[in-house]
């Protein structure tokens, strides 16, 4: 029995599970999507919460600029560029023989400062928020201060009395570890078995305690949670449930809006925006999608992308069981080269909160991720880690003939699709060591 039903009963009620269990690539468009105005209150967070988070990052900007000189030219704002990728779009269209009207862009979170992945949004935000809360409470700081004063022995000593713990497949640990250690915190990162060696080495070089686990991500998170619960001075960053992480990600949308405006890209009912977001536990893509819906309303369509071996969010939302089921419960192994997405059980918060706001979900196999990895490098010169390529399949999926019902539901005529903008969220890659990247590329070129 799985969550109250036999496998036969599951296949009967949720026929897509057959292909999912066989590890075939699937695309599922969610017919439960509701207008943003109606569904946004489901989330339990508001535009004011995002504004508050954004103002907090602004307060920290002088500190960030000082500690991470690569952010100084942009005033200590941790943001990534967008880039039109016409050659990649053309190559994808030829590779699959699919017409791809509209324009494809990449959002290069791969090149976010400090930790080179989307986790530089949520992870760093939550560490900063925690630091601010402690310092305000102690009377060491007021909100109108110049926060570069945190770069002092006094503050580092104050924070060194506190601990931060997190469970991670790698990138979240990297973001929290680096930011936490720079502020002076004692940071422990519980790494799952799929975490890359270079990430552990890098963290240790920052003085972060890395605990290796033979089990997967969910187990690493659980150990971290339990250890932290026993220590009142330890703050556990809960990737499965944290509202602060979620808000850190959500800020991306207002920044993207400005970038699109600067590039003269119009987003409205006549010019829809499709955004394809690689999904692990769901906090990153969920937070970004929340921000996008607040910012662009029904003009934006958010789609989540997962590996065929780790389709936890699709499984949770499609079965309605959310975090009560794992991919392993259905015999799916959670073993993938997309290490940032190697998550077997989704966030209990995101799937439920965003149930009526996400247009669809699809899975991609590892071979395809490597193929896109090599292709993106060949035609655009952009190097990404395997996880970051999951979104690149999105435009092909949404514009495939099989999804005509979905497109009609939203009144997407061929004229409207000609004017559409598609963004694949390229979630990581710039910090991957060269030898490792060369190995990824060699593998991808072989498949290509």
Ligand X SMILES: *Cc1c(COP(=O)(O)O)cnc(C)c1O
What is the contact surface with ligand X in residues (CB under 6 A)? 117-119, 171, 278-285, 340-341, 385, 387-388, 427-428
CB of 310 to ligand X, least distance (A): 10
Tell which residue, 167, 226, 171, has the closest CA to residue 192.
167
Q: How many CA atoms lie within 13 A of 211 on its CB side?
A: 18
C-beta closer to ligand X: residue 85 or 118: 118
C-beta closer to ligand X: residue 64 or 279: 279
Helix and strand numbers (H, E) in the chain are: 20, 11
CB of 191 to ligand X, least distance (A): 13
C-beta closer to ligand X: residue 167 or 282: 282
C-beta closer to ligand X: residue 309 or 407: 309
Q: How many CA atoms lie within 13 A of 369 on its CB side?
A: 28
Between CA 388 and CA 337 the distance in angstroms is 11
CB of 14 to ligand X, least distance (A): 22
CB of 137 to ligand X, least distance (A): 28
C-beta closer to ligand X: residue 141 or 315: 315
Tell which residue, 71, 85, 76, has the closest CA to residue 263.
85
C-beta closer to ligand X: residue 407 or 422: 422
Instruction: Judge whether 389 and 441 are in contact, CB under 8 Å.
Output: no
CB of 287 to ligand X, least distance (A): 8
Strand, coil or helix: what is 164? strand
CB of 304 to ligand X, least distance (A): 8
C-beta closer to ligand X: residue 256 or 299: 256
Q: Which positions ≥6 away from 205 have C-beta within 8 Å?
A: none
Lay out the sheet containing 421-426: strands in order across. 27-29, 360-364, 300-307, 273-278, 421-426, 103-108, 82-84
CB of 239 to ligand X, least distance (A): 7
C-beta closer to ligand X: residue 273 or 390: 390
CB of 116 to ligand X, least distance (A): 9
Q: How many residues does the chain have?
A: 448
Tell which residue, 10, 36, 55, has the closest CA to residue 295.
36
CB of 340 to ligand X, least distance (A): 3
Q: What angle do CA 228, 230, 231 make, to 5 degrees?
A: 70
Q: How many CA atoms lie within 13 A of 427 on its CB side?
A: 33
C-beta closer to ligand X: residue 89 or 110: 110
Between CA 372 and CA 276 the distance in angstroms is 14
Instruction: Judge whether 274 and 391 are in contact, CB under 8 Å.
Output: no
């Amino acid at each position: 029995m799985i969550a109250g039903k036999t496998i036969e009963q599951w296949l009967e009620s949720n026929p897509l599970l057959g292909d999912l269990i066989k590890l075939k690539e699937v695309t599922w468009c969610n017919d439960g999507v509701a207008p943003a105005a109606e569904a946004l209150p489901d989330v339990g967070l508001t535009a004011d919460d995002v504004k508050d988070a954004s103002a907090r990052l602004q307060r920290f900007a002088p500190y960030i600029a000082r500690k991470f000189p690569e952010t100084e030219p942009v005033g200590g704002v941790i943001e990534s560029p967008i880039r039109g990728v016409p050659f990649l779009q053309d190559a994808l269209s030829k590779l699959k023989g699919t017409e791809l009207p509209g324009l494809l862009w990449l959002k290069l979170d791969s090149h976010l400062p400090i930790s080179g992945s989307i986790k530089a949004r949520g992870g760093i935000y939550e560490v900063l928020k925690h630091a601010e809360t402690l310092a305000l409470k102690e009377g060491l700081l007021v909100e109108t201060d110049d926060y570069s004063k945190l770069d002092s022995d006094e503050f580092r000593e104050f924070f060194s009395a506190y601990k931060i713990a997190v469970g991670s497949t790698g990138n979240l640990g990297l973001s929290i570890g680096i930011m936490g250690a720079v502020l002076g915190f004692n940071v422990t990162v519980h790494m799952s078995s799929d975490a890359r060696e270079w990430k552990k080495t890098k963290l240790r070089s920052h003085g972060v305690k890395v605990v290796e686990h033979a089990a997967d991500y969910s187990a690493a998170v659980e150990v971290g949670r339990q250890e932290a619960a026993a220590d009142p001075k330890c703050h556990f960053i809960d990737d499965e449930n944290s509202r602060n992480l979620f808000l850190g990600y959500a800020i991306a949308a207002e920044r993207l809006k400005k970038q699109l405006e600067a590039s003269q890209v119009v987003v409205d009912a006549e010019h829809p925006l499709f955004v394809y977001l690689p999904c692990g536990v769901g906090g990153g893509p969920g937070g970004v999608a929340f921000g996008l819906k607040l910012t662009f309303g029904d003009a934006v369509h958010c789609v989540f992308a997962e590996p065929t071996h780790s389709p936890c969010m699709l499984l949770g939302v499609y079965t309605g069981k959310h975090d009560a089921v794992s991919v392993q419960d259905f015999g799916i192994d959670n073993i993938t080269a997309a290490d940032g997405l190697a998550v077997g059980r989704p966030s209990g918060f995101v799937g439920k909160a965003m149930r009526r706001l996400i247009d669809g979900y699809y899975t991609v196999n590892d071979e395809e991720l490597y193929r896109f990895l090599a292709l993106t490098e060949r035609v655009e010169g952009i190097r990404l880690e395997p996880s970051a390529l999951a979104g690149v399949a999105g435009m092909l999926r949404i514009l495939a003939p099989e999804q005509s019902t979905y497109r009609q539901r939203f009144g997407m005529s061929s004229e409207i699709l000609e004017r559409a903008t598609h963004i694949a969220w390229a979630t990581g890659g710039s910090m991957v060591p060269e030898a490792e990247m060369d190995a990824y590329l060699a593998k991808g070129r072989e498949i290509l």
